[in-house]
């Protein structure tokens, strides 16, 4: 194909590509730098799950959170939801847990534009998680 015909093809709009960010992102065992990047993302809600492997209620809550923060689910405000999982047994997790005053597990904090907007402590059933996400 000549450069002239390729240029006319491009300018005619025959084929266009549109790149968009994913609707939902899961950050398992996130580091402090990943956490900071995720909570500061514009036009997204970061749902941060502080957990530990030894925590039974954390294991009950995890699949519910994962299901309700994956596509096509969005927050009550229509923003995409990202799930950031922080292992409080890790060095970064201990630092972040102290910074956000995590005193019991599981603790879930929702962030928008780098700021915490709401949270809950303990496990919730599917209806409780859906209600929490609808308020975001």
Average pLDDT, stretch 13-21?
A: 50
pTM of the predicted model, to two decimals?
0.83
Task: In whole angstroms, give the CA distance from residue 107 to residue 105.
Answer: 5
Average pLDDT, stretch 47-68?
A: 97
Question: 25-135: CATH homologous superfamily?
Answer: Glutaredoxin (3.40.30.10)
Closest CA to 46 of 91, 107, 92, 113: 113
Task: In whole angstroms, give the CA distance from residue 70 to residue 67.
Answer: 6
> Which two tokens mark 16?
């266009």
Q: What is the set of active-site residues? A: 55, 58
18: pLDDT strictly greater than 60: no
pLDDT score, position 8: 45
pLDDT-derived band at 10 (thresholds 50, 70, 90) equals very low
Q: Where do the structural domains in the chain lie, given as residue ranges?
A: 25-135
């Amino acid at each position: 194909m000549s450069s002239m015909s390729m240029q006319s093809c491009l300018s005619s709009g025959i084929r266009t590509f549109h790149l968009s960010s994913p609707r939902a992102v899961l950050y398992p065992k996130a580091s402090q730098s990943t956490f900071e990047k995720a909570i500061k993302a514009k036009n997204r809600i970061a749902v941060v799950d502080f957990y530990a492997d030894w925590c039974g209620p954390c294991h009950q809550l995890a699949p519910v959170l994962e299901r309700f923060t994956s596509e096509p689910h969005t927050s009550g405000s229509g923003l995409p939801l990202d799930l950031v999982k922080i292992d409080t047994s890790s060095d970064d997790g201990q630092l972040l847990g102290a910074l956000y005053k995590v005193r019991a597990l599981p603790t879930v904090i929702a962030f928008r534009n780098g700021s915490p907007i709401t949270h809950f402590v303990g496990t919730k059933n599917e209806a409780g998680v859906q209600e929490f996400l609808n308020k975001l």
